[in-house]
Amino acid sequence: MNQIIVKTIGKLVNTFCYIAPYQAAKMAVNIFSTPRKGQLLTEENQYLKSAKQNTLNYEGINIQTYQWPGSQKTILLVHGWESNTYRWKDLIELLKVENYNIVSIDAPGHGNSGHKTFNAVLYSECINLAASTFKPNIIIGHSIGGTASALATHNYKLPIEKLILLGAPSNFDEVIENYVKIMGYNKKVVTAMNDYFLKHFGKLPSFYAIENFSENLLPQGLIIHDKKDRIISYRDALQISKHYNNAKLVKTKGFGHGLKNEIVYNHILEFLNT
């Protein structure tokens, strides 16, 4: 979405909020929760045919899963916003060499999963369903998929041994704040959005911060974050590290938010093998 369209939508929501604040907030939250991309291309689908595929159902939402069977421990891969399972291709190939039992899911509204909208709380519930089904020993989550994995681990006390967070935000409040800045929403819209979150989720976005759900993060953790990440600040990694006592922080430079690099993969493999 180009900047002119973004700012135009932002101004319309700002104006509409003076007339109908609840409806304006609903519109703003729906825009935020609707992925603009993340669907699979033909060549991506072709690669994923190499996996054993299965569909889980969570409250009427079809959640697509992929499995590359192996005799070693089970790893669950959890992608981020506007992405899909294919983003793990290079890491999957490395894990296959180590004979790990690899499982991955497409988030609601992403890849081959159903639903039109997405939020991290819903994602955490789907992660819990996948964990209940496949019994992973390890979860690797990228970006918001990492935070949703940590939230699922906390809420459902998932019995995993290791948790790897790649470029993960430390709180959802900052994610919302970035969205508000991009759209140019005024304070009235922000207030209306907070009221909407309270009504539908029972919590403000600020509740979903690492300090509020670090107590049950018992698995051995690895946090990898790039110093030059322009999507999620490196400060988030420092915040996660501060509250996740059983985790090691690895700082990279030059790999961006995607962290798709041999050096990153080597850090992951070394952590898995210790």
The pLDDT value recorded for residue 1 is 59
Residue appearing with tokens 């704040």: 177
**d(Cα 147, Cα 141) in Å, to the nearest integer?**
7
Report residue 12's pLDDT band, with 50, 70 and 90 as the boundaries. Answer: very high
Least confident range of 19-23, 64-68, 170-174: 170-174
- Give the chain's domains with CATH numbers: 1-33+172-207 (no CATH), 40-170+208-272 (3.40.50.1820)
In the predicted structure, residue 214 carries a pLDDT above the cut 90: no
Average confidence (pLDDT) over 46-57:
97
The two tokens of residue 208 are 């979903």
Mean of pLDDT over the chain: 94
In this structure, how many other beta carbons lie within 10 angstroms of the beta carbon of residue 180? Answer: 18
Q: Per residue in 114-123, pLDDT tens?
A: 998 899 999 9
The two tokens of residue 156 are 């459902």
Contacts 24+ apart (CB under 8 A), 253-257: 253/226, 253/227, 253/228, 254/226, 254/228, 255/226, 256/226, 256/228, 256/229, 256/230, 256/231, 257/143, 257/167, 257/226, 257/229, 257/230, 257/231, 257/232
The pLDDT value recorded for residue 3 is 80
Q: Per residue in 217-269, pLDDT tens?
A: 999 999 999 999 999 999 999 999 999 999 999 999 999 999 999 999 999 99
In this structure, how many other beta carbons lie within 10 angstroms of the beta carbon of residue 171? Answer: 20
The pLDDT value recorded for residue 201 is 86
